[in-house]
Amino acid sequence: MALLRPEEEAKVREWFAQLERPVELVVALGPEAAPPAGAREVDFGAEMVRVCEGLAELGDAVSCRVEQEPDGFPRYPAVSIRPDGRDAGVRYDGLPWGYELSSLVGAVVEAGRVEPTLRPESRAALEGLDRDLALDVFVTPT
Amino acid sequence: MLLAYRCALASERVTATAIEANEFPQLAQEMEVWAVPRIVVDGEPRWDGSVPEAEFIRRILSA
C-alpha cells in the first residue's frame, strides 16, 4: 500500500525540496510492548522502517538509518528526527499512523529549517531556561 | 505536536517526543491519557488539547 496519496506525495516532495539542511531519520527497533488489541498482525517495526524509508525517498535531503536497540530510546519502534544528523531531542515513539504521519512529516520540515520557527518572544523565553525540559505529547492515529 | 518539536529544535534544553498512546497502553494509562493530545512535562501529566504558542510556552515554563 502506498504511503501517501499522489496529491499528498507531491506536496511532501515540494516541502522536502525546500529543506535548508539534511535531516536524518534514525529508526530504532527493539523489543516492543504488548501489541494493542486488534493489531496483532501488524509488524510495527517493519512498518516503521517502511514509513521512514518511504519518506526518505521523497527528498534528497532526507535520509533514513535503522538501528537495533540504540542508546537513548526507551520504547520501540521509534524514530529520531535529526537535523544535520544531530540528536536534537525530537522523537516519535510508535508508528505514526494515519493523520499522525503528518506530525512526522512536520518534524522533518521543521528540522530542515536552519532558523527555528517559534516567535522571537517564545525563543527568548526558552533561552532563559536553566534546566532541562522533557515534553511528551500523547497522540493517537485518527 | 509541532509546537513541542519547535521548542526542542529551538532549545538544547528541551526534548520533545510524540508517543502513540494505543501502542504503549501501559504508559498511556500511567499518564492518564483519556484525550489527545495529552501534554506531559517532565513526566507529569499537565493538560489536554492544543493551545496557542504563547500559552504553550507559558505552561511548559511554569510546570
Asked if residue A142 belongs to a domain, the reply is no
What's the CA gap between B37 and B39, in Å, rounded? Answer: 6
Q: Could you say which DSSP state residue A130 is in?
A: -
For residues A100 and A93, the model is more confident at: A93
Q: Residue A41 above 80 pLDDT? A: no
Contact (CB, 8 A) for B7 and A135: yes
pLDDT in the model for residue B19: 96
Identify which of B4, B16, B23 has the shortest CB distance to residue A44: B23
Reported as a single tens digit per residue, the pLDDT across A6-38 is 999 999 999 999 999 999 999 999 998 776 666
How many other CB atoms sit within 10 Å of the CB of residue A101? 20
Q: What does the block give as the cell for A49?
A: 522502517
Asked if residue A135 belongs to a domain, the reply is no
Decide: pTM greater than 0.90: yes
Asked if residue B14 belongs to a domain, the reply is no
pLDDT in the model for residue B3: 96
pLDDT in the model for residue A37: 64
Please state the separation of Cα A95 from the chain's center in Å.
10
Asked if residue B56 belongs to a domain, the reply is yes
Reported as a single tens digit per residue, the pLDDT across B26-42 is 999 999 999 889 999 99
**What range does the domain containing B38 cover?**
20-63
Q: Residue A136 above 70 pLDDT? A: yes
Whichever domain contains A49, its CATH number is: 3.40.30.10
* ipTM of the complex model: 0.97
First to last CA, chain B: 18
Using 50, 70 and 90 to split pLDDT, how confident is the model at A40? low
The average pLDDT across A42-71 equals 96
Reported as a single tens digit per residue, the pLDDT across B3-19 is 999 999 999 999 999 99
Asked if residue B63 belongs to a domain, the reply is yes
Asked if residue B4 belongs to a domain, the reply is no
Asked if residue A35 belongs to a domain, the reply is yes
Residues of A in contact with B41 (CB under 8 A): 133-136
How many other CB atoms sit within 10 Å of the CB of residue A64? 18
Asked if residue A103 belongs to a domain, the reply is yes
Contact (CB, 8 A) for A77 and A45: yes
pLDDT in the model for residue A107: 97
Asked if residue B10 belongs to a domain, the reply is no
Residues of B in contact with A111 (CB under 8 A): 5, 9
What's the CA gap between A59 and A70, in Å, rounded? Answer: 25
What's the CA gap between A127 and A137, in Å, rounded? Answer: 22
Contact (CB, 8 A) for A62 and A25: yes
Asked if residue A104 belongs to a domain, the reply is yes
pLDDT more than 90, % of chain A: 83
Q: What does the block give as the cell for B16?
A: 520533545
Residues of B in contact with A74 (CB under 8 A): none
Residue of A nearest to B50 (CA): A137
Contact (CB, 8 A) for B12 and A129: no
Using 50, 70 and 90 to split pLDDT, how confident is the model at A53? very high
Asked if residue B44 belongs to a domain, the reply is yes
Asked if residue B15 belongs to a domain, the reply is no
* Shortest CA gap A3–chain B (Å): 18
Q: What does the block give as the cell for B63?
A: 510546570
Asked if residue A52 belongs to a domain, the reply is yes
Domains identified in chain B, total number: 1
Asked if residue B7 belongs to a domain, the reply is no
Asked if residue A141 belongs to a domain, the reply is no
Whichever domain contains B47, its CATH number is: 3.40.30.10
**What range does the domain containing A32 cover?**
6-127
Domains identified in chain A, total number: 1
